[in-house]
Structure 1
Amino acid sequence: MIGTYVNVAAVVAGSLVGVILRHGLPERFKEILLQAVGLAVLFIGTSTALGGLLSGESEPLLFIISLALGGVVGELIGIDRRMNQLGDGLQKRLGEHHGRVSEAFVTASLIYCVGSMAILGSIKSGLEGDHSILYAKSILDGITSIILASSLGIGVIFSAVPVLLYQGGITLLSSFLEPWIGEAVVREISNIGGILIFAIGINLMNIREIKTANFLPALLIPPLYFLIAG
């Protein structure tokens, strides 16, 4: 769990630094920072998804089915609505002057949790005691937290809780999950994660509102597919 604890600490520290910087930034600089993050997230999501899909080893049909089924399940459960309600509750407690808490919480949580580094790093941390992937992820998440918090506000800091629960859960269950998480499974999950990151970028750029959190169940379809397919 050490790797996850470091990751959580990096998110919290980066968020606090970002909030401090936020108070000294004019609104126009906050806006340009948000656009910069949006563009970077769009590029990362596109390159991640296309890198896997164009490798010749992925299964495009599985990618489409996973997004479709996952989106329907997420809509039925109302994942996006529930996450936003949680963010709105935090907003009421903190006040409007702390920025867009709900958007910051949901955006940061998705960015930090949907990538393959979170899965692979947590498994290696649990099985081998090798925290190197999570340490590298911690640096990336810490820097991202500074930028996100400086533009969106304190809500980013609360994403440390999903990171702790998600990565910590995978680490603790790593011996059980390891036989299920082969190279093909990680590749397909990474493809879906890439498109979800791309959707986050669309939201940040105000191009169109996508209920990205509702697609989270899509990440579970590839492991189930390969389990059934043997």
Structure 2
Amino acid sequence: MPVGVIVNVLSVLVGSLIGAFFGDKIPERLRVAMPMTFGAASMGMGIALIVKVETLPAVVLALVLGSAIGELIQLEKGIEWCANKVRRPIEKLFSSNNSMTPKFFLEQFVGIVVLFCASGTGIFGALNEGMTGNASILFSKSILDFFTAAIFATALGYMVMTIAVPQFAILLGLFLSAGFILPLVNNHLINDFSALGGIIMLVTGLRISGIKSFPVANMLPGLILVMPLSALWLRFFS
């Protein structure tokens, strides 16, 4: 039973619902300041993961190749297209009148999709629960995700709730596949995977804070490539 996955998804769902409902009652200065704080937190967590790197050339190569693949298949554009398709029915359903410009909305929305669905903590937490039954990592993540979703929902509205759908699909898939994945990897590969995830979290934080709009979603294929490349580097160059 994927208890940790369910709790994590519910934390995003409930947090975003509460944040969107009480959005107008939260002071503007708080709604502006808190996303920047969460952006800083994402950068900090990213740096903490990056320092775990074992095979830097393999991580860099995975990032470059993954970003190229993401650009070619226009992964971020696909997420933006889905968000635009879903946004209007959601706002109509909940009688929401979000005055945010489409460009700024998509900048923030894509950033938090990556933050919730592709963080190293969530991926490893789901794999760990699937392999050991220990959901403590996802429980800890759920506390942070609850407040993060609530704060972002004060600005982005009920659309933040929709992130729970891809998040559940990704985490459940990882939970179910853990028995096949984890026996094939070692701490070296996991550390390189975490380091690449840390880079993505770092640039996601920069994007959420409005410092630089990195195409973070296009970097995600690198997470699939990093372990095989790290293993090949170990075999032929170490």
TM bucket by the smaller chain? 0.7 to 0.9
Cα distance in 2 for residues equivalent to 1:21 and 1:67: 39
Structure 1: stretches of 5+ with no match in the other structure: none
**Identity over aligned residues, as a percent?**
28
Structure 2: stretches of 5+ with no match in the other structure: none
Aligned to 1:66: 62
Cα distance in 1 for residues equivalent to 2:40 and 2:19: 19
Aligned to 1:150: 154
- Alignment deviations for residues 70-115 of structure 1 (CA, whole Å, 9 cap, x no partner): 1000001111000011111122223472456544542222112333
Aligned to 2:97: 97
Q: Report the AA paired with residue 97 of structure 1.
A: N
Cα distance in 2 for residues equivalent to 1:152 and 1:97: 10
- Alignment deviations for residues 50-77 of structure 1 (CA, whole Å, 9 cap, x no partner): x224xxxx11111211111010000011
Aligned to 1:170: 174
Q: Decide whether the 8 Å contact of 1:104 with 1:155 is kept in 2.
A: no
Q: Decide whether the 8 Å contact of 1:105 with 1:159 is kept in 2.
A: no
Cα distance in 1 for residues equivalent to 2:124 and 2:62: 20
How far is 1:226 from its partner? 4.3
Is structure 2 residue 25 aligned with structure 1 residue 29?
no
Cα distance in 2 for residues equivalent to 1:126 and 1:42: 28
User: Which is worse superposed, 69-78 or 155-164?
Assistant: 155-164
User: What is the SS of the residue equivalent to 2:214?
Assistant: coil
Is structure 2 residue 202 aligned with structure 1 residue 198?
yes
Cα distance in 1 for residues equivalent to 2:79 and 2:164: 14
Task: Report the RMSD for the aligned CA atoms in angstroms.
Answer: 2.1
How far is 1:192 from its partner? 1.0
**Which of 112, 130, 138 is the matching residue for 2:142?**
138
TM score, norm. by length of structure 1: 0.88
TM score, norm. by length of structure 2: 0.85
Change (3 A) 1:210 1:2: same
